[in-house]
Amino acid sequence: MTAWLGTPGIVCALGSGVDAVARAAFAGDTAGMRAQTGWVEGRALTLGACAGALPPLPAGLPLHHHSRNNQLLLAAATQIETHLRRAVARYGADRVAVVLGTSTSGVNDNAPAFRHLRAQGAWPDTYDYRRQALSSPASCFADWLGATGPAYTLSTACTSSARALLSAHRLLKLGLCDAVVCGGADTLCRLTINGFATLEAVDEALCVPFSANRRGINIGEAGVLFLMERSPADANAVALLGGGASSDAWHMSAPDPTGAGARQAMLAALQSADVDAAGIGWLNLHGTGTPHNDAMESHATHAVFPQGVPCASTKPLTGHALGAAGALEAALTWITLSAANAGGRLLPHIWDGQPDPALPALELSTPAHRYAQGRPRLAMSNSFAFGGNNASLIFGGQP
């Protein structure tokens, strides 16, 4: 079944709103990736933070919903609020579902309470565990929108919001709802940033995925929301044609070096969408910039696309938004497929131009690349996560 994604609401290091994000992304603008101190003791790290103030949550929502993570969702939601509320009015509140992905939820907002506990031996009066509960994004958003259909949050590390889109597609296919608000949010969080730093997986400078000089990831934050329906909601709507997922469980934090799990997810996505690999015009790579992930994905991509395919990692533009990355990269893929992109431009791969001779060569896209004329615009977006959790989505532009 084909599902349709209307114009996304999006806030990330590239900017706020699909038009601003598109302009910066096509220009390869990395200005939102800035060196910051205060997250890891004694180090300055390049991070992808959302600039500017975020909208406060309405006072009527319970206090435990008040977190930066949920503010990111609200910032994205207000951009498409008319479409969201129109869907509730059209289908009925009980026929609108909410499926979101996250990995941090409100953990960073509760961090001061943990410091208070360590210093004082008791929780402060303001502490509420529900602020950091993984269920918080979906329950907060459903309360805000007044949607009473299925509402849940998925947390599968860096595939969370990609799997949220897959789950939303499944809900529509099963007839359990008529529209799904789907996407995800993740906030810059001291816990996760220090965790990746401890794994020696971060690059203090701008990351350079697939380069021989790659050293690790830049972490970012984002909030992204789509309205998914069975028919196009607006003139720029993009089709979610299918998707695939796998769990190879190779290692707790390292990918299978052969790329077997990633390859399985990509092939399952092609089968689900009923398209051939040769029909894909652009591949949005997971491309974190770590030695192991990029090597694995290079092998998987070469196996699935032996004829080659224009591809790019967008993480030097946004940082790795973890649980929000799948939805963020779906939105960037949406931008390339939207009718507003009349020239069929592809997003450029930002790096130092130094390929790793130990890896299969990839056709990394440049500002000169375009979707092939006279053929349907089809794109794939990959998301891979700790524990061997893999997801791949296939999108198509309107004829």
Positions marked catalytic? 158, 286, 320
Q: Say if CB 397 and CB 377 are below 8 A apart.
A: yes
From CA 57, how far away is CA 43, in angstroms rounded?
33
Q: Spell out the residues 6+ positions from residue 307 whose beta carbon is closer than 8 angstroms to its own.
A: 277, 278
From CA 393, how far away is CA 306, in angstroms rounded?
19
User: In this structure, how many other beta carbons lie within 10 angstroms of the beta carbon of residue 298?
Assistant: 21
* CA-based nearest residue to 146, from 220, 204, 95, 72: 95
Q: Say if CB 285 and CB 311 are below 8 A apart.
A: yes
* CA-based nearest residue to 98, from 34, 162, 146, 35: 146
DSSP classification of residue 371: P
Whose tokens are 């375009």? That residue is 370
Q: Which residues of 364-380 are buried (b: 16+ CB within 10 A; e: fewer)?
A: bbeeebbbeeeebbbbb
Continuous segment of H or E residues that includes residue 282: strand 282-285
